[in-house]
């Protein structure tokens, strides 16, 4: 379902990338180029597992979450 000019809403999706995978059961917006995902805020971080309301991010070794300009990004360590 399109969301204005932001991207497409996916209610349930699992994404795989070089940084790991994210499992979403409560909504995620992918930008129009499928390069950025918009999720609810982080609730808990435990090692390489980051959890939010309706999503779990499993980072591969060598990757981390960093805050850039008010946004959280997955980056190489």
The per-residue pLDDT for range 14-61, each reduced to its tens digit, is 999 999 999 999 988 888 776 788 888 899 999 999 999 999 999 999
29 and 3 Cβ atoms separated by less than 8 Å = yes
Tokens of 45: 């971080």
Phi, psi of 39 (to 5 degrees): -125, 170
Q: Is the pLDDT of residue 72 over 90?
A: no
50 and 56 Cβ atoms separated by less than 8 Å = yes
**Residue 39: which residues within 8 A CB-CB, separation 6 or more?**
22, 24, 28, 52, 55
> What are the structural domain ranges in the chain?
2-76
Q: Is the pLDDT of residue 70 over 70?
A: no
């Amino acid at each position: 379902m399109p969301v204005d000019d932001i991207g497409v809403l996916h209610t349930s999706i699992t994404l795989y990338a070089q940084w790991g995978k994210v499992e979403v059961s409560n909504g995620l917006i992918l930008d129009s180029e499928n390069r950025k995902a918009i999720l609810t805020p982080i609730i808990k971080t435990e090692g390489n597992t980051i959890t939010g309301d309706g999503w779990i991010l499993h980072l591969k070794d060598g990757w981390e979450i960093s805050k850039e300009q008010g946004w959280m990004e997955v980056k190489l360590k």
